[in-house]
Amino acid sequence: MPPEAPSPGAEERDRRTPVAPDGSPAEPVSGFPPPIPDHELIRLIARGSYGEVWLARSALGTWRAVKMVHRRTFWHDHPFEREFKGIQKFEPISRSHEGLVDILQVGRGEGCFYYVMELADDASERSAGVMESWSSGKPASSGPSIHHAPTSSLDAFDSGSPHCSTTPPLHDSNRYAPRTLSSELQARGRLPIADCLPIALSLTSALEHLHRHGLVHRDVKPSNVIFVGGVPKLADIGMVAEVSEARSYVGTEGFIPPEGPGTVQADLYSLGKLLYEISTGKDRHEFPALPANLDELPDKQSLIELNAILLKACDPDPRQRYASAAVMQAELELLQQGGSIKQRRTRQRRWALVRTVGVAAAMVAMLALFGSMLFSTLSHRLGTIPDAQAEPVSIFVLPFRHSAPSPLRREAYESDQDVCLCGRLTDAFIDGLPLIPGLRTGPRKSGWVRYDEDQVRRDLARTNDTRYMLTGRVDHTNDILRLELRLYERENETPVWTETFATTTVEVIVLEKKAVTDIALRLGESRRGSRTYDARLAGRGPGVVDLAADLRPHKRGTALPCAGQTTAQPRVVRGAVHRFRRNCLAALR
C-alpha cells in the first residue's frame, strides 16, 4: 500500500515544531515555549543556567535570536525580577552603540520573560577575511544586509537609533551555530595583536557606554562576544544590572575579580582576562604568564606592551585598576597608533615625582616664611627680640613646701587642702619663669616633696647642669598667704637671694607676678621680659595689670593690700580689685 498521505497542515506543524541542535525535538526548560508575537521559533541553539536561546524568524523573514529566561531557574522572585529590570534598562541603550547587541523586542509569558535580539553571524560559514577586513576599518559583511524600517512593530526599532541592526542571511538553519569570540579562538588559536586591538577598542567603548548609563555587564568573557556583520558585540546580557542592584555573586570562574562582580572595575577585570586569552592563546587561569614561544612571535613587542595594559586591568587591588573603560581605551588607542605604554607610564611617574617634590618644597618654603613672619610679629608685640646667641639661664623649681612650725604638725598640714595650693604655686613658677625671655625651667618633680630638700638640692647640683635652684615655703593662715623664696646657685650651699611675699588668697596671681619679676631682676633678665609677663597676666583676668601699678610703692617683705583695704584708692583701682577677686575665686573653685 502506498504510504498514507499527510493530513493537511501536518507539514506546517512539523515546520513550526522547535528542534534541538542535533535535529531532535527540543525539550524546553519549562514545557513548550510560549508564543512570541510575529516570530516563529525554529530550533534551540543554546541553553544556559537561566534559560535558552532559540533561532527564530520574524514575519518579514528576518532571522533573529530569542532568549527565554524562566522563573523556575531562580531561587526567588527577587533575582528573576531584577534580571527583567536589567533588560528593561538595557533595551533602549543597546541600539545606541554598535558594540552592544541590539535588543529588538521584550515581553513576558507564563513563568518567563523573553527578548528578541539580532542574530550572530554563522560560524559554519565564517570567512577567514571577515575579521581582518573589519579590523582594517572596512565594512564587513558575508552577504547583502536586510535593513528594517522603523515603522515595523516586529523589530521594535527606535526611530532615533543611530544605526540599524544588520543581520546576514542564513543559508542553512539546521547547521547554524553563532559565531563568537570563543569560536574564533577554537578555529584560529591565538589572535594577532593587530586583530586583538580593534576588538579591545570596540569592547571598551561598549563598556564605557554601558557604565555611563549606570549599568554593569557582570559576565564579560569570549563566549559572550558575538560577531554581527563582522563587528564584535557584547551579548548574553542576562546578567546586566544597575550598579546599585548588582549584589548577587554571578559570573564565570576565572573572569570574576577577587572582590566579586557588580562594579565598573570588575567589568574591566573580566575584559582584561578576555584579552589575555585571545592575545596569548592561554587559559585565563594561567594569567599573567606569556606564551612559551614569545621570542618567536612576530608581534612580540606589541604583545609585551598589551600585557602592561592587562596587568593594570587585572590588578588584584581594584584601586590600582583603570578608573574607567575610557582610560583603558585611551591606552589601547596609543598602542594601536604605535606608542609605548611602558615609556608613557615611566614619564608619568617621573612627572608625578617632580610635582610631589615641588609641592613639598613649596609647602616647606611657605611654612618657613609663615614661621618667620609669626616669630617677628610676636617678638615685636612682646617688645623684645631675644638674642639667639645668648645661652638661657636655667632654673630648677623644687616642689614648694609648708612652713610647718614643727614636725608634729606636718601631717596635719599635708592632709590639708593647702597641699593643693603648694602644688599650684610650684606649677605657676615653673610656667611663669620661662615667659621671661632668657629663662628656662626644668620639669616638675612633685615626688621629691617626700625627701629632704637639702639632699635633693645637693643631688641635683651633682647630677644636673642646672645653674639655679628655687625653693619655697608656704604659710596660709586666716586668708593671708606668705611665700618665702630662696634662690641657690648650683654649687653654693647658701642662697644668693631670699625674699618673703605676703598677700591675700584672692590676689595670689599678683604675688606670682611680683615674685617672678623680682627673680628676673636678680638675674638681670627682667627688663626684656616685663611686657611678656604682663601680656600673660592680662589673659588670666581683668584688673591684674592695674593692680601691678598699685603694688610698686610697697617694700619687699611687707604685706600687700587686700580687697578690704582699697577704700581710699581711686574708683578704677577698686573696680579692678573686685573684678580680679571674683575671677580668682572662680579659678580656685
Give one DSSP letter per residue of 381-450, joined into a string.
Answer: HTT----TTSPPEEEEEPPPEE--SSGGGHHHHHHSTHHHHHHHHHHHHHHHGGGSTTEEE----GGGGG
Lowest mean pLDDT among 73-77, 90-94, 373-377, 452-456: 373-377
Torsion angles phi and psi, residue 171, rounded to 5: -85, -35
On whether both 198 and 274 belong to a single domain, the answer is yes
Q: Return the pLDDT at 302.
A: 93
On whether both 305 and 221 belong to a single domain, the answer is yes
438: left (phi over 0), alpha (psi -120 to 50) or beta: left
On whether both 127 and 114 belong to a single domain, the answer is no
Q: Return the pLDDT at 506.
A: 67
How far is 258 from 318, CA to CA, in rounded Å? Answer: 9
- Average pLDDT over every residue of 118-135: 65
Per this entry, what is the length of the chain?
589
pTM (whole model) above 0.85: no
Q: Return the pLDDT at 73.
A: 86
Are the C-beta atoms of residues 28 and 53 closer than 8 Å to each other?
no
- Average pLDDT over every residue of 503-507: 75
What digits encode the pLDDT tens for the residues 390-424?
Answer: 566 788 888 888 876 555 445 555 555 667 778 87
Q: Please count the structural domains in the chain.
A: 3
- Average pLDDT over every residue of 177-206: 94
Does the residue 344 lie in any domain? Answer: no
On whether both 402 and 499 belong to a single domain, the answer is yes
Q: Which of 339, 355, 375 lies at the terminal end of a domain, its last residue?
A: 339
Nearest CA among 261, 234, 257, 243 for reference residue 314: 257
Does the residue 356 lie in any domain? Answer: no
Q: How far is CA 10 from CA 5, 22, 471, in A?
A: 10, 22, 122
Q: Return the pLDDT at 197.
A: 96
Lowest mean pLDDT among 14-28, 90-104, 227-241: 14-28
Does the residue 359 lie in any domain? Answer: no
Residue 257 has pLDDT above 70, yes or no: yes
What digits encode the pLDDT tens for the residues 149-188?
Answer: 333 333 433 334 445 555 667 778 888 999 999 999 999 9
Q: Return the pLDDT at 382.
A: 52
On whether both 414 and 429 belong to a single domain, the answer is yes
Lowest mean pLDDT among 99-113, 255-269, 291-305, 503-517: 503-517
On whether both 313 and 232 belong to a single domain, the answer is yes
Q: Return the pLDDT at 476.
A: 78
Torsion angles phi and psi, residue 440, rounded to 5: -145, 155
Q: Return the pLDDT at 496.
A: 87
On whether both 406 and 543 belong to a single domain, the answer is yes
Does the residue 387 lie in any domain? Answer: no
- Contacts of residues 403-411 at CB distance under 8 Å and 24 or more positions apart, as own/partner, are 403/473, 403/474, 403/475, 403/482, 403/484
Q: What is the CA radius of gyration of the chain?
A: 46
Q: How far is CA 190 from CA 181, 281, 282, 298, 318, in A?
A: 11, 4, 8, 13, 28
Q: Return the pLDDT at 515.
A: 84
On whether both 564 and 430 belong to a single domain, the answer is yes
Rounded to the nearest integer, the mean pLDDT of the chain is: 75
Q: What is the CATH number of the domain that holds 30?
A: 3.30.200.20
Q: Return the pLDDT at 425.
A: 82
Residue 19 has pLDDT above 80, yes or no: no
How far is 292 from 290, CA to CA, in rounded Å? Answer: 6
| Helix residue ranges, H only, 157-291 | 181-188, 193-212, 264-280
DSSP, collapsed to helix, strand or coil, labels residue 100 as strand
Q: Return the pLDDT at 478.
A: 76
On whether both 550 and 435 belong to a single domain, the answer is yes
What digits encode the pLDDT tens for the residues 310-343?
Answer: 999 999 999 999 999 999 999 999 999 998 888 8
On whether both 101 and 127 belong to a single domain, the answer is no
Residue 285 has pLDDT above 90, yes or no: yes
Strands 401-402 and 468-477 come out as parallel
- Average pLDDT over every residue of 465-490: 84
What digits encode the pLDDT tens for the residues 61-78?
Answer: 999 999 999 988 888 888
Residue 573 has pLDDT above 50, yes or no: no
How far is 203 from 587, CA to CA, in rounded Å? Answer: 74
Residue 557 has pLDDT above 50, yes or no: no
Are the C-beta atoms of residues 104 and 92 closer than 8 Å to each other?
no
Does the residue 352 lie in any domain? Answer: no
Residue 32 — pLDDT band, cuts 50, 70, 90? low
Does the residue 16 lie in any domain? Answer: yes
Residues forming beta bridges with residue 405, ordered by sequence position:
none
Q: What is the CATH number of the domain that holds 257?
A: 1.10.510.10
Does the residue 172 lie in any domain? Answer: no
- Asked whether the bond before 288 is cis by omega within 30 degrees of 0, the reply is yes
Residue 535 has pLDDT above 60, yes or no: no
Nearest CA among 204, 178, 200, 185 for reference residue 278: 185
Nearest CA among 95, 97, 228 for reference residue 168: 228
Can you give the residue range of the structural domain that contains 553? 393-588
Q: Return the pLDDT at 162.
A: 47
On whether both 443 and 515 belong to a single domain, the answer is yes
Residue 45 has pLDDT above 50, yes or no: yes
Q: Return the pLDDT at 379.
A: 59
How far is 288 from 311, CA to CA, in rounded Å? Answer: 7
Residue 54 — pLDDT band, cuts 50, 70, 90? very high
How far is 578 from 589, CA to CA, in rounded Å? Answer: 17
Q: What is the CATH number of the domain that holds 558?
A: 3.40.50.10070
Residue type, 301: Q
In percent, how much of the chain has pLDDT > 90? 33
Are the C-beta atoms of residues 168 and 145 closer than 8 Å to each other?
yes
Q: Return the pLDDT at 337.
A: 92
Q: List the Cα angle 476/478/479 in 5-degree steps.
A: 70
- Average pLDDT over every residue of 295-306: 93
- Average pLDDT over every residue of 111-129: 81
Nearest CA among 515, 520, 326, 294 for reference residue 425: 515
Does the residue 519 lie in any domain? Answer: yes
In percent, how much of the chain has pLDDT > 70? 69
On whether both 90 and 206 belong to a single domain, the answer is no
Q: Which of 302, 324, 339 lies at the terminal end of a domain, its last residue?
A: 339
- Average pLDDT over every residue of 508-514: 79
- Average pLDDT over every residue of 77-101: 90
Q: Which of 304, 320, 339 lies at the terminal end of a domain, its last residue?
A: 339
Residue 552 has pLDDT above 70, yes or no: no
Lowest mean pLDDT among 394-408, 459-473, 525-539: 525-539
